[in-house]
Structure 1
Amino acid sequence: MAILIDPPAWPAHGRLFSHMVSDTSYAELHAFARNHSISLRAFDRDHYDVPDDLYNRLVSGGATPVTGGELTRALIASGLRVPLKERPEKIRNTLLRQWNEYFPYFTDLGEHLLEQWEQPHRAYHNSAHLLEMLTVLEKLTPLTAELVLATWLHDIVYDAQPGKDEEASARFARDVGAPLIHQDAISQQQMDAVAGLIEATAAHTVDQLPPEIAQAFSSHEVHAFFDADMAILGAKTPRYDRYSAGVRQEFSHFSDEDFRRGRKQFLADATQREQLFYTEKARRLFEEQARDNMRRELQSLYL
């Protein structure tokens, strides 16, 4: 277990920065940074960017000085390195190609939506989540234009304000849906169903869904949509850890105590559910791993 730091050689904002990582866990990295009064806002996907004037203090405080190459190799070996498929700038073309398959005359709209997904404050709910959700959704049910549109718009507004984000995303969906309706790419009824499905993600339950959703989506499609959104819970351990670290960064406006309280409640409630996923295939793919991931994270929050 070690905190690693490379020499301050990366220019930004008129000064030089070092990269600081853990070769074991994000929890260890965040704890070290917190103990040395480094803001969570300095965390960038899998490392902290720290200014040159802190280098000696961090080394004296226990960080191990290494070269840039040694740091990168250790980060990759640890499984904590964010892979290319989770980097928004690397997956933009892939997402735009898929958007154009379903909405070929609305490329500008697709690019506008991606700009929303790529906002810098999104540490987990970014375009990597969008691509992962679309990939899982296609495994669970045949994609339709309505499902693709709902997925692209379901977290289009994200400010780490549960409930309010879903309402704002649904309003955004209705606004940007106007040209699609006007040019007959989607009907008003379908657009209303998309917005309703987005609002329903706040509770992530199929109980008492608005009737317009049932008119446009089958129950299996709704179940698959919810399962794809929550499939991250059943990701392999390194990816789950990057997800949980990203969520903490997005909620950096909460104190550690408040965040831990809310996160523990979410995990405790989830693990007590008889089934985490609605569809049989999602349960087969993700249920066991999801429970292992959440139990492990829940235990770490009590340490």
Structure 2
Amino acid sequence: MHEFSQINTELGNRFAQHLSAINRDVLPTETKTLWRDIAVRYNETQRAYHTLRHVRQLFEQFEQIVSHLHKPHLIALALYYHDVIYHPIRSDNELKSAKYAVDQLKGYLNDEQCRYIYALILMTATHQLSELTDDDKRSDAAYLLDTDLSILGTPWPEYERYARAVRQEYAHISVIDYRIGRVTVLQKLLAHPKLYLTSYYYERLEQQARENMEREISLLCAS
């Protein structure tokens, strides 16, 4: 409980800073209300991986790449909201999260900013860049997508914890069905010529990520 409180406070303060950097008129009470709702959702019982710990891990990555970003505060808000709606049995979580983000933020951001955050969150469903024409936006989107996949390139013990947490979220699925579905997902990722869109992440994590996923596939097929 202490860890959750610490993460909650840390991420809540960050959220307030990023939103206030975009809109100086936002009131502290408003940011607290917005954050409280985000935190409650990431603490839902059906989550094991898509929790505030996941968000914290993303912001550890964010700190490493923030100097590469053109609109860091918008990218930060997209990270906060990208999994705000999450039910393992549904396939439209990203769409619902995108809509939810815009609904919550439209009173504080302009229309263009809302459209961009909406597009960013939708892209996390496929981890492929959409038809963004602005080079700066495409670059920022690539970093966001790579950040979201950074867990794949962590050392094996951390990857293994991630894989176990994902399995826990799908506890309602039989062993055989989960094995088939998970292997399919991993093989689709491995089929991409490059997992990571930015040279920063490709150089650091690509090889480890592929080794991790291939190892997980081997373990799943052997079980």
TM norm structure 1: 0.65
Q: Give the % identical residues.
A: 27
Please say if 1:147 is aligned against 2:75. yes
CA distance in 2, matches of 1:245, 1:220: 32
Q: 2:113 aligns with which of 178, 186, 190?
A: 190
User: Given the alignment, which residue of 223, 226, 229 partners 2:148?
Assistant: 229
C-alpha distance in 2, partners of 1:188/1:227?
Answer: 26
Q: Give a deviation string over 1:46-103, Cα, whole Å, max 9, x none.
A: xxxxxxxxxxxxxxxxxxxxxxxxxxxxxxxxxxxxxx9xx53431111012112112
Aligned-partner Cα distance in 2 for 1:288–1:90: 33
1:272-287 aligned within 5 A: 272-287=191-206
The size of the alignment, in residue pairs, is: 209
Q: Secondary structure at the match of 2:98?
A: helix
Indicate the residue corresponding to 1:117 in structure 2. 42
Name 1:179's counterpart in structure 2: 107
Post-superposition offset of 1:302: 1.0
* Matched residue, 1:18: none
- Greater displacement, 196-205 / 159-168: 159-168
Shift in alpha-carbon separation, 1:236–1:267, aligned structure 2, 3 A: same
Task: Kindly indicate whether residue 24 of structure 2 is the aligned counterpart of residue 101 of structure 1.
Answer: no
Residue 55 of structure 1: aligned partner? none
Secondary structure, counterpart of 1:92 in structure 2: helix
1:133 is aligned with what amino acid? L
Is 1:124–1:243's contact at 8 Å kept on the other side of the alignment?
yes
Bigger RCO of structures 1 and 2 (CA < 8 A, at least 6 apart) = 2
Q: Deviations over 1:229-284 (max 9, x none)?
A: 00000111111111101111111121111111011111122223221101111012
Q: Which one has the bigger strand percentage? A: 1
More helix by share: 2
Listed as ranges, the gaps of 5+ residues in structure 1 are 1-83, 181-185
Shift of 1:127: 0.8
State the match for 2:55 in structure 1: 130
TM-score by length of 2: 0.86
Contact 2:123 2:145 in 1 (8 A): no
Q: Tell me how far apart the structure 1 counterparts of residues 190 and 135 of structure 2 sit (CA, whole Å).
A: 31
Runs of 4+ in 1 over 3 A off after TM superposition: 87-90, 214-217
Q: Provide the C-alpha distance between the structure 2 equivalents of 1:230 and 1:254, rounded to a whole number of angstroms.
A: 23
Q: CA deviation at 1:161?
A: 4.1
* C-alpha deviation, 1:195, in angstroms: 0.9
Does the 8 Å CA contact 2:19/2:77 hold for their aligned counterparts?
no
**Cα RMSD (Å):** 1.9
| 1:217 CA displacement | 5.2
Give the structure with higher Rg (CA): 1
> For structure 2, which runs of at least 5 residues remain unmatched after alignment?
21-26
Residues in 2 aligned to 1:241 and 1:88: alpha-carbon distance in whole angstroms? 22
Inter-CA distance 284–202: structure 2 relative to 1 (3 Å threshold):
same
Amino acid paired to 2:41: Q
